Amino acid sequence: MKIQETDQSRLSEINFDKLPFGEIFTDHMLLCHYKDGAWKEPEIRPYGELPFYPGLQALHYGQSIFEGMKAFKNEEDHIFLFRPEENYKRLNRSAVRMCMPELPKEVFMNGLEQLLRIDHKWIPKGEGKSLYIRPFMFASGNFIIARPGKEYLFAIICCPTGSYYSGEVRVKIEENYARSGPGGTGFAKAAGNYAASFYPAKLAVEEGYSQLIWTDAATHTHIEESGTMNIMFHIGDKLITPNLSEKILAGITRDSVIKLAKHMNIVVEERQVSVAEIIDALEKGTLKEAFGVGTAVTVSPISLIGKGNKKYELPKSTNSLAITLKNALEDIKKAKTADPFGWRKEIII
Ligand code: COI
C-alpha cells in the first residue's frame, strides 16, 4: 500500500468538545481504484479534493454505495472497531445489487486498519464520541452511457463525531412517499435511497417533525424503517421490530440490539408491524417506547409519533429499555464489559 502522510495536520485546530456530525474530516483518506477489470494497489494520502470530469458516471446514474461504521477509544486509549466484517459483507451485497465490482477483503480491512493507525489521534474519547468511518464506492469513469461503469473508486474517509441527532426525535408516519419497494434497492446502502428520502423528510420537517416512519410502498399500512434508522417498539414486555426483507436495510446495530435483548432474556419479535397495531398500542398506553437504531445514532429514543393530523406523545420512560440497550452496547464497544458475542476488534497502533 502506498502511504503519503501529511506534514500539515489539522488536528490542533479541532474543538473535540464540540463535534458536529460529519463535517470535520481527519488528515488522511484511503483510495483504491478499479480499472481494466481489477482493483489496483490502495493508497493512503492526505484528505483533499479528488479530480473528476463532468462525465463522472456516478453523478449521472447514481451508481454509488456507502457504509457507516465507528471506531472507539476507551479511557485506557485502546482502540476498537465494532463488527467491521459485517460492514465489509454489506458493502459487497450493495455492490452486487448496484452492478458494481465486489471489493477484496484485504483492501477493506487492511486499508481501514492502516488508516486508523495513521489518524488514531483523531479518535475522540468520552461518552457518545467516536470516529465515524465512511467507506464508499462509486462509478468513476468519464462517460454518460446508461450502463454499469467500467471504472470505480473505493474510498474511506473519517470524521470525529459526537451524537447524530440533538434533541427529541419526533417522527411522522409517512403515508404518501416510500423509501423502497418490492424488487428495489431498499436493502442496499445505495446513495440514491437517501437522496430519494430527502424531499418527504423535508416536508415532515416543515410540519415540525424531525424524521419519518417509512411504511410499505403499496399500502402504507406496515412499518419498515424510520429516517436513516431501523425502528423498534417496546410494547408490553416485548421488543418488536419489522422483519428484514429486500425493502429493509439489514442494520448492524439492529442485529446487535436484537442479540443483546435476547441475551437479557427479553422476548424479541421480528415480524410485520402494522401501523394499526402501533396506533392501537399508543391509544391503549401499552406502547412504552419507540426508538431508532443505526450506526450513526446508535439508539435514538422517539418522543412523538404523528399520523395524519394526530400526534401521540410517548410516555417519559423512567426505566427505559432503549437506554439500557444503548448503554450495554456502548459498554461492549468500549470494552467496559465482556464481549460475549465477539463483536469487538481491537486495533493495535
Ligand atoms: C449510519 O447510521 O451510519 C448511516 O449510514 C446513516 C447515515 C445517513 C448517517
Question: In the prediction, which pLDDT does 317 show?
Answer: 79
Using the mean position of ligand 1's atoms as its centre, give its distance from the Cα of residue 175 in Å.
23
Question: In the prediction, which pLDDT does 234 show?
Answer: 98
Crossing angle of helices 252-263 and 321-333, rounded to 10°:
110
- For residue 90, pLDDT over 80 is answered with yes
Question: In the prediction, which pLDDT does 151 show?
Answer: 98
Where do the H-state alpha helices sit in 137-242?
Answer: 191-206
Average pLDDT, the chain: 97
- For residue 54, pLDDT over 90 is answered with yes
Checking 320-327 for CB contacts under 8 A at 24+ apart, the result is 320/289, 321/234, 321/239, 321/261, 321/266, 321/288, 321/289, 322/232, 322/234, 322/289, 322/291, 323/299, 324/264, 325/257, 325/260, 325/261, 325/299, 326/298, 326/299
How confident is the model over 289-330, as pLDDT tens digits?
A: 999 999 998 999 999 999 999 999 999 878 999 999 999 999
Using the mean position of ligand 1's atoms as its centre, give its distance from the Cα of residue 68 in Å.
5
Using the mean position of ligand 1's atoms as its centre, give its distance from the Cα of residue 283 in Å.
31
Using the mean position of ligand 1's atoms as its centre, give its distance from the Cα of residue 285 in Å.
31
Which residue among 226, 255, 295 is best mutated to probe the pocket of ligand 1, counting the most ligand atoms within 8 A of its Cβ? 295
As a whole-number percent, the residues of the chain with pLDDT over 90 amount to: 96
Which residue has the CA at smallest separation from atom 3 of ligand 1? Answer: 68
Using the mean position of ligand 1's atoms as its centre, give its distance from the Cα of residue 36 in Å.
31
Q: Is the CB of 294 under 6 A from ligand 1?
A: yes
How confident is the model over 10-27, as pLDDT tens digits?
A: 999 999 999 999 999 999
Question: In the prediction, which pLDDT does 163 show?
Answer: 74
How confident is the model over 58-69, as pLDDT tens digits?
A: 999 999 999 999
How confident is the model over 224-275, as pLDDT tens digits?
A: 999 999 999 999 999 999 999 999 999 999 999 999 999 999 999 999 999 9
Which residue has the CA at smallest separation from atom 8 of ligand 1? Answer: 228
How confident is the model over 154-184, as pLDDT tens digits?
A: 999 999 998 776 678 999 999 999 999 999 9
Q: Is the pTM of this model over 0.85?
A: yes
- For residue 337, pLDDT over 90 is answered with yes
List the grid coordinates of 103: 471489493
Using the mean position of ligand 1's atoms as its centre, give its distance from the Cα of residue 228 in Å.
6
Q: Residue 343, Cβ neighbours under 10 Å: how many? A: 20
- For residue 148, pLDDT over 80 is answered with yes
Query: Which residues are CB-neighbours of 106 under 8 A, at least 6 positions away?
Result: none
Which residue among 64, 163, 228 is best mutated to probe the pocket of ligand 1, counting the most ligand atoms within 8 A of its Cβ? 228
Q: Residue 67, Cβ neighbours under 10 Å: how many? A: 21
Q: DSSP string of 10-60?
A: -GGG--TTS--TT----SEEEEEEEETTEE---EEEES------TTBHHHH
- For residue 193, pLDDT over 90 is answered with yes
Give the pLDDT mean for 189-204.
98
Q: Is the CB of 228 under 6 A from ligand 1?
A: yes
Crossing angle of helices 105-118 and 84-97, rounded to 10°:
130
**Whole-angstrom distance between the N-terminal and C-terminal Cα of the chain?**
17
Q: Is the CB of 197 under 6 A from ligand 1?
A: no
